[in-house]
Structure 1
């Protein structure tokens, strides 16, 4: 699905505020063709974000100067930021594709389904998943959780959880986690769809962030109907 032009402007506004930029920074950058920069000598993370053709870089002034002649396409590569920050002890946070939606088709499953809004089920689900998956999704940071429950022999087993947290009062940052034994059955799609529609009903625009090497998360974003909108590349300073 395609994003409304107004939704793209809302997304850029939210990211401008998140990065400490002027509200119209991304729009102005698109008009001028310039990269938006903000020098922050206290920053412990260097952030490069490209959204709908505009880009922004936040970090110490020396790194902004070093990146001035580097094209956006190169700066979006994690290895480029690592190289620029090597003398500052830069170590990787990676590059992530950003997807967005202001409307989505509803994904459903046949039969009845129990959905829990509680934290205990989400915590139990995390305990059944690989640590790397748990860390990338970060359910503990997503306040609104919708966990699909399978009831068997008197037990309530959490199978998948779709969740979101509100950012800048404009975006719903979405995440989904599925029990490894129950993957490839469409549960992740359903859980994500439930959370996404709850967020849309609250008047928020959906955001999905997936590491560029995470083929499963990228495929799920496209399957849900999200639109690719940009990339975020980050490096921690030592």
Structure 2
């Protein structure tokens, strides 16, 4: 699906606030890269959204980045190179997808969905740590866990969750138990969380590591639109 006219500006507004810029900063950048000096920053962060870009970090990092193009800064290796002498490490590059409406996923049978935290925590215990970290359920306020019921035994199989950012975006996360993958439950969990967020008047944001092919494919299959990339590194003390 495509975004409605004006949705890109709303998304850029949310990110301008998140990165400490004035509300209209992305709209007035006119093709130039936005930069903001933050000497106490623990990260160097580059974001490209709908053709506009922004970089936030210590002044030494902004100076070192000045000679690189946006395409180069979008690559994690570039930020690692810039920050090598300052302990730069980790975080990586994430593709950003957005939606202001999505088709409703219909389950093949009646579902049991829990809004409680214990079920989401139980699901995390069934999944590899890397998957748990990327889904980030612990940081997402609203959780919708699909429960499989068999002979009275209740097992969490997938969770879609979101939290509100800057009063505009609903940042989504989805986690699926390994043995339940490729059965469509991840898409259902994502659809449930997405439509709850849309009903609250929020625009959807899907963030996925650029190497996570499964997550990227799920975002596209649900109807999300690619909008940009976020690349960042942690800085040493």
TM-score, scaled to structure 1: 0.98
How far, CA to CA, are the matches of 1:82 and 1:131 in structure 2? 24
Tell me which residue corresponds to 2:143.
145
Tell me which residue corresponds to 2:104.
106
How far, CA to CA, are the matches of 1:48 and 1:4 in structure 2? 25
Structure 1, residues 179-227: CA drift from partner, whole Å, max 9, x if none?
1011000000010000000000000000000000000000000000000
Tell me which residue corresponds to 1:237.
235
Q: Structure 2 matches for 1:155-166, cutoff 5 A?
A: 155-166=153-164
1:85 aligned counterpart, secondary structure: helix
Tell me which residue corresponds to 2:165.
167
Instruction: For structure 1, list consecutive stretches of 5 or more residues without a partner in the other structure.
Output: none
1:56 aligned counterpart, secondary structure: strand
TM-score, scaled to structure 2: 0.98
Tell me which residue corresponds to 2:117.
119
1:5 aligned counterpart, secondary structure: coil
Tell me which residue corresponds to 1:20.
20
Tell me which residue corresponds to 2:31.
33
Tell me which residue corresponds to 1:69.
67
Tell me which residue corresponds to 1:186.
184
Tell me which residue corresponds to 1:56.
54
Instruction: For structure 2, list consecutive stretches of 5 or more residues without a partner in the other structure.
Output: none
Tell me which residue corresponds to 1:9.
9
Tell me which residue corresponds to 1:134.
132
1:110 aligned counterpart, secondary structure: coil
Structure 1, residues 95-132: CA drift from partner, whole Å, max 9, x if none?
00000000000011211111111111000000000000
Structure 1, residues 31-73: CA drift from partner, whole Å, max 9, x if none?
x211000001100100000000000000011111111121000
How far, CA to CA, are the matches of 1:89 and 1:116 in structure 2? 42
Pairwise CA RMSD = 0.6
Shift in Å, 1:5: 2.5
User: Does residue 222 of structure 1 match 2:220?
Assistant: yes
How far, CA to CA, are the matches of 2:195 and 2:203 in structure 1? 10
1:4 aligned counterpart, secondary structure: coil
User: Does residue 200 of structure 1 match 2:203?
Assistant: no
Tell me which residue corresponds to 1:45.
43
How far, CA to CA, are the matches of 2:144 and 2:76 in structure 1? 33
Moved over 2 A (4+): none
